Structure 1
Amino acid sequence: MHAPVLVLRDSLKRESGRKVHHANIQAAKAVADIIRTTLGPRSMLKMLLDASGGIVVTNDGNAILRELDLAHPAAKSMIKLSRTQDEEVGDGTTSVIVLGGEMLHVAEAFIEKNYHPTVICRAYSKALEDAIAVIDKIAMSIDVNDRPTMLGLVKSCIGTKFTSQFGDLIADLAIDATSIVGVDLGQGMREVDIKKYIKVEKVPGGQLEDSKVLKGVMFNKDVVAPGKMKRKIVNPRIILLDCPVEYKKGENQTNAELVREEDWEVLLKMEEEYIENMCAQILKLKPDLVITEKGLSDLACHYLSKAGVSAIRRLRKTDNNRIAKACGATIVNRPDELQESDVGTGAGLFEVKKIGDEFFAFIVDCKDPKACTVLLRGASKDLLNEVERNLQDAMSVARNILRIQNSFLVGVLQN
């Protein structure tokens, strides 16, 4: 007789059969019960402590489940289900968990009657096909230019959330923002990239009613030399760079051995000439504003301010891309490759304003912007974080309507 072959370590335990089915169902129901009270018109907000010790106050299913540290594999699958729903649809993260938990609860009775799990799964797949067929029948086309209908649909997704008490405010912001960044692809198709081209800027202070959609871009930066450079320019010519406007440094530690004292002056002179040439190439196109993602030396700042040009340095790549989309500029890698077509002339106003203790640069009143900023004002950061989560859900729904231009009838009836 052969000796038994041990595949698993002694410390590991393998379970199978009906006991595991019941354990998985109980774990999924436990996850569903955690967020069940956040669904519906009498939904409650949950208060959580996140990993960094901050407070999260929300009734968004995905935001709550994201903070949970679970060990059970079935419970982890439920959290992944919520995350997938958030990425693909943007709304309904709580509903899918509650629905999933309930479906497993109903399946438990069939397992007790000795139905095989694959038979139950096939039955649910058939039910899915029937549900999709019914939805296709009762779905109705939507005119995306009909504002009241769009408002009704978007409001249906935030009706049970914290911001529903502010009326149409969040729905209006979501529709305005998604309408600005929508790009027609032809054949009735429309691309709306809310992650790349809509930035939500949260500034504590003021009232939530002061929130608005800017036809352009706003970012937390000031000009390099506030005393010498203009903070307000009407119809600015904008140049965007992603290269440093300073003397090129050696990649590693660079040593230069100088024999004579005059050589040091020659070295400094070469550095100055290099920066002067670079600034001359930029100033040749008569810009009013130069923005770079990298550094900008004091000498370059001097030449630019002397020519009456404002400059902003070390801007994020994502913000630079949004400015390019908003004002029609092209991001250039080298100043000597600059052309007239690279200059952005679509912006109506560049202005630096102080809000609270910080300076914010605004490039607004753009002619045909394909990027925008939603400025949110409110009493505290916790409040603004929850408003942002609600706004993201509303924008996702507005994006889906603009993209598909077809809506499930219940969305209107629910409202």
Structure 2
Amino acid sequence: PVTGGDGAAPARWRPWRFRMSNDVWGTPTVAGDLLYVTSFEVHALDVASGRRQFKTRDVAWSMSVADGRIHASDGPSLYALDAADGTERWRLGSDGWIYALQAGRGTVVTGTRGGGVQAWEAATGERLWETGGAQTDFETADLGPVLHEGTVLVWADGRLKALEARTGAERWSYPVGDAASCGGVPVRLLPAPDGAVYVTAGTRVLAIDLARGEVRWHFEAPAAFLSRPAFAPGPAVTGGGLYLADYLGTVYALDAADGRDRWRIATEARQSTEPVLVADGAVHLGSGKALYTLDAVTGTPRWRFQAGGEVIGAPVVADGRVHFGSADHCLYTLDATGGQLRWKLATGGEITGTPVASGGVVYACSKDRCVYALDAAKGTGLTRRS
């Protein structure tokens, strides 16, 4: 839908709720006029009305929407559907259980249990290459191989390896260490537009040149990082840099050019694996039951909002508003500048994943088996669908 001038939903659009027959998990994906949600199967909902256009006939434990296709896996098989109407394009069996999947630029990359990594031609399902030796300590959907602009990044044999996406040829590798040397926490990666891949490995932060594999800088913190960094472009004086939080809730602002520690500030203990969010000169993060907002340049706290339960997922910022979910079953919308509550929606279950804000509408999933589409400015006026 097309927004009004203030980022509100269009006048003729009405909020809706769609009830699933099974639990809804993860973060929804908006592509064009459709919203894709995983609830065992993939459901494609019309963003304007909430009417279901189609659903897959198979379970989708992992999913990626790219190049006009839905690429998904039920574990032992991989398949591709037309993103517009759900027509099956291709389907094939895998030699292992697929636990992670990413797609882009005509390539699908999968991770299979036991350390396997595969690449497939996205249009036909032809296998391009396969390798082994990837880490097996953390085989979850968010810790598989990372596909970025023709490069596949794999944590394998205690090293970070950069592979050519179409051939599997190794471009470089760097010894980041195994799970034990990283303090028993997974290595997390952020390929950034400045040509670096930023790595958290236990208490370390590394900036590695994505093209050459050379380390630009190294930073050591007193506590381990559970989430990947967040990158903001531009000079530090305008809020550019690298931002991340450790498990104790200390937020760090590092200079992206040299790794200099610009500032750090404590919040509260944080078990979330979601990164902080940097938007419009502010850093937003959920720690415990509170959402904190800090000035990106100075680290000065701007405001803190107390929710009724643990903050779930990451916040999202759009049109001067912050949206986030909580374990207290509520979806919250706050003023991004002052932290005032604009509206909240009580659902029948814990909010899952991270909300999505697009076109003046905020979409969220709840453990009450519902998907919600709400006016981002007002939040009210539900129309039920099922």
Q: Shorter-chain TM-score: what band?
A: under 0.3
The structure richer in strand per residue is 2
User: With CA pairs under 8 Å and 6+ residues apart, which has the higher RCO, 1 or 2?
Assistant: 1
In our comparison, the structure showing a higher alpha carbon Rg is: 1
The structure richer in helix per residue is 1
TM-score (ref. length: structure 1): 0.22
